[in-house]
Amino acid sequence: MEQQDFEYIEKYITGDLSEEEQSAFKNKMKSDTSLQEQVEEQRILIEAIQEQSLRATLDRIHKNTEESMTVKNIPLYKKSFMRYAIAASVVVLFVIGGITLSRKQNTHQKLFASFFTPDPGLPTTMSTTSEYVFYEAMVDYKQGDYEKAILKWNPLLKDKPTNDTLNYFLGVAHLASDNGDEAISFLEKTTGTTESYFLSDAYYYLGLAYLKSGNITSSKEALSQSNLPKSKEVLSKISNE
């Protein structure tokens, strides 16, 4: 096909011919089956280009969506301001929720309450199936449904009893649902591993868990193992009493 013919057919398809030209072209097509076929073929090519371009666009969008949800290996305390903003809003919710109001609070529990905010959780990734349950539970966790999250995470321990991330979040979730003793046993599994990037966070929450239970010696010990600024802050508050 010559370039001229090609461009004319294209104009016909895109509706860029004048009315007169359009009807003349249609008439010509009626008696010219090879022209009919050329038009049909060109339509198909254009359709294919559009659909494949859309596919490429969707893949790009998918990648971006996934990237924004992928876990990155940055220590938690180095993460952006947003985490703390979210954490702060959780504090507010907690205070409003008056989780500990029904109890007579001693100073340690007050201190605990003023410091405890559950870890904001991990971004939920959609990259692998095997981790799906973990991240599904993470969604519950982030929504504050700690008991549901615990129920979903518990079975995963069977395969990965020493997984630091799993034990860490189970610990924090238990602490958030007022099960101090369970929280301590899970968090100690995480602090028992030396390589975890949750180590400092785990020690921090462990310290808070002990503080809540009134075991100040263990609390101080745990907090001193954590290099989070807020751990030092809690430590100094305990010591100042």
Partner 1 sequence: MRNSNPLQTNHITGDILQAIKANDEDVFAMLYKKNYTKVASHILKNNGTIDQAKDVFQEALIAVWHNVRADKFVSESPSAIHGYLFTIAKNKWTDYLRSQRYKKTIISDDVMTNVKDDDVYETSESNVFEQRLEIAKKAFVHLGKECQSLLERFYYEKKSMQMIAQELALDPASARNKKYRCMQKLRELVNTPKLPK
Position 71 contacts partner 1 (CB under 8 A): no
Measured on CA atoms in the order 65, 69, 74, 78, is the torsion positive or negative? Answer: positive
Q: Which of 16, 41, 147, 178 binds partner 1 (CB under 8 A)?
A: 41
Residue 228 amino acid letter: L
Is position 151 an interface residue for partner 1 (rule: CB under 8 A)? no
Q: Rounded to an integer, what distance in angstroms lies between the CA atom of residue 180 and that of residue 78?
A: 27
- Alpha carbon of 47 to those of 12, 63, 192: distances in Å? 15, 24, 60
**Binding string, 169-198, against partner 1, x = CB under 8 A?**
------------------------------
Please, which residues have CB within 8 angstroms of residue 165's CB and are 6 or more apart in sequence? 122, 196, 198
Taking CB under 8 A as the criterion, which residues in 95-134 touch partner 1?
126-129, 132
Of 45-53, 103-111, 155-163, 191-199, the segment contacting partner 1 by CB under 8 A is 45-53
DSSP assignment, residue 143? T
Q: Does the protein bind partner 1 through residue 92 (CB under 8 A)? A: no
Q: Residue 201, class by beta-carbon neighbours within 10 Å (0-12 exposed, 13-18 middle, 19+ buried)?
A: buried
Residue found by looking up tokens 């649902």 in the block:
177
Q: Which of 27, 65, 70, 106 binds partner 1 (CB under 8 A)?
A: 65
Could you tell me the smallest distance in angstroms from the CB atom of residue 35 to partner 1?
A: 15
Contact 144, 86 (CB under 8 A): no
- In whole angstroms, how close is the CB of 78 to partner 1 at the nearest point? 25
Q: Out of 27, 36, 50, 105, which residue is the one contacting partner 1 (CB under 8 A)?
A: 50
3-state SS class at 65: helix
24 contacts partner 1 (rule: CB under 8 A): no
Closest CB to partner 1 among 3 and 18? 3
Residue type at position 235: L
The owner of tokens 């461009």 is: 7
Number of residues that bind partner 1 (CB under 8 A): 33
Residue number with CB closer to partner 1 (126 or 151): 126
Q: Which is nearer to partner 1, 136 or 188 (CB)?
A: 136
Q: Using CB under 8 A, list all residues that contact partner 1.
A: 1, 3, 6-7, 40-42, 44-59, 61-62, 64-65, 126-129, 132, 136
